[in-house]
Amino acid sequence: MLDVLPHKIHDESRQGEAYAPFVNDPSVYRKKFYIESYGCQMNFSDSEIVASILNGAGFGATRNVEEADLLLLNTCSIREKAEQTVRNRLTAFRKAKESRPGLLVGMLGCMAERLKSKLLEEEKLVDMVVGPDAYRSLPALIEEAEGGQKAVNVLLSREETYADISPVRLDSNGITAFVSIMRGCNNMCTFCVVPFTRGRERSRDADSIIAECTDLFNRGYKEVTLLGQNVDSYFFATGNAGEQAVTFAMLLEKVADISPLLRVRFSTSHPKDITDDVLHVMVRYDNICKYIHLPVQSGSTRILQLMNRTYTREWYMAKIDRIREIIPGCGISSDIIAGFCTETEEDHKDTLSLMEYSGYDMSYMFFYSERPGTLAQRRYTDDIPEEVKKRRLQEIVSLQNELSRQSNEKDTGRTFEVLIEGDSKKSTEDWMGRTSQNKVIVFSKKDHPFSKGDYVHVRVTDCTKATLLGEVVMNG
């Protein structure tokens, strides 16, 4: 196995970090590529696929922009801020091109599909544009760009799942990994660009998912997160007579059966699609984490209808009740948008009250940013002043901070099984891990011979609004 070096990439929406393994052997590859990723976990997963394809084409990865022959940005269109960040990076890359003839710049992902002509012809910021379903064509597109042509492939596919590609893991610790189980989305939420940039929903071959998760476990990984825009609508049928189709509940069980030492998470769930079958499988398996990310977006039925979320405030609250009933103590997080079109103060108060009812452990919170090409942009006027959006968002954030603090305080004195992921960000004298409920917990290494990837029982002794603090309990 080749030596590897870490390289930080970016996650705009999740505020997380990941690291790409970079080959530390210049004799292996004829050229080098540098990649940055922005946006959701699906983009992180896609960058792992891209790295594998480029390795096969003779490109090794580097964390040094100055020595790269190819600069890539894997982009996100979900918010205007994310797009502006990418534009700033492309401007910096263009300056690098001015001093290094032959350097290629490529844009991948959702922005690539949406802004292909503008970026290639009008602004001349990139040499090639590659959509989420066209990564297999990267080697051919690189050849076109090397020949002076503007290379483009943003065609969407009804079949592509990259099931046969073994990703190059973009991971900081060798303990946790993302596994994509499906691509695209059939839900037409009016604020969202995903159906237009990632295409229709299609599920990956279940056997290939099990094989990938098994391989990860055999290589020392202790946790996999099954990824999809809407994992609960996963459905794979071979078409063979007499062969049963695989639902998400069945897939979850198959992955959990690989080993009781392999933790299983999943993201993201759509409230309308998560079933009791899934909840009951979660209860039956200790190694399926008791955590569900269940985006609500708004607490107002009127706004939910404008968003085309296909459920009401009361229906969502009943789903929260059902999760609490079947899985007591389950961690629940959410996505919330402030200031959607026509939102009134009463609508905003409905969101705040639903947050209190749900008691979210944490949330990803944004104010509405109109995205070109979405149904909302075509149908509605973005009529909430920005200062109102920001004020409402701040009220949402303040409430979530309080809910997070209350949630963490309830855990004080309790003992959890924790998977050690690595050093604490603040001190190499402490370990950092996560509970089954996806809460970060920090505890001292002192007097305990544990290693990264170990399971350990930790009693919570204190907390902040974001982090649990604890001590090892040796007798479990």
CATH of the domain at 139: 3.40.50.12160
What's the token pair of residue 238?
């071979």
Rounded CA-CA distance 174/341 in Å is 43
Total structural domains in the chain? 2
Rounded CA-CA distance 257/210 in Å is 10
Please, are residues 19 and 37 in contact by the beta-carbon 8 Å criterion?
A: no
Residue located via tokens 């394809």: 53
What's the token pair of residue 159?
């079949």
Rounded CA-CA distance 36/63 in Å is 10
- 475 CB burial (10 A radius; 0-12, 13-18, 19+): exposed
Q: How far is CA 6 from CA 3, 136, 175, 219, 275, in A?
A: 10, 25, 14, 18, 39
Give a yes or no: residue 117 inside a domain: yes
Position 42 pLDDT exceeds 60: yes
Q: What is the mean pLDDT of residues 199-223?
A: 95
pLDDT digits (tens, 9 = 90+) for 402-458: 999 999 999 999 999 999 999 999 999 999 999 999 999 999 998 888 999 999 999
Give a yes or no: residue 78 inside a domain: yes
Please identify, among 134, 153, 172, the residue that sits at the C-terminal boundary of a domain: 153
Strand locations in 27-103 (E): 31-37, 59-61, 70-75
Position 329 pLDDT exceeds 90: yes
pLDDT digits (tens, 9 = 90+) for 79-126: 777 778 888 888 888 888 888 888 999 999 888 767 776 767 656 788
Best-predicted range by mean pLDDT (20-29, 119-128, 194-203): 194-203
Give a yes or no: residue 312 inside a domain: no
Give a yes or no: residue 308 inside a domain: no
Give a yes or no: residue 290 inside a domain: no
Q: What range does the domain containing 43 cover?
A: 4-153
Give a yes or no: residue 176 inside a domain: no
Rounded CA-CA distance 188/180 in Å is 21
Give a yes or no: residue 170 inside a domain: no
- DSSP states along 181-202: -EE------TT--HHHHT-S-E
The confidence score (pLDDT) of residue 172 equals 56
Give a yes or no: residue 365 inside a domain: no
Please identify, among 94, 125, 153, the residue that sits at the C-terminal boundary of a domain: 153
CATH of the domain at 419: 2.40.50.140
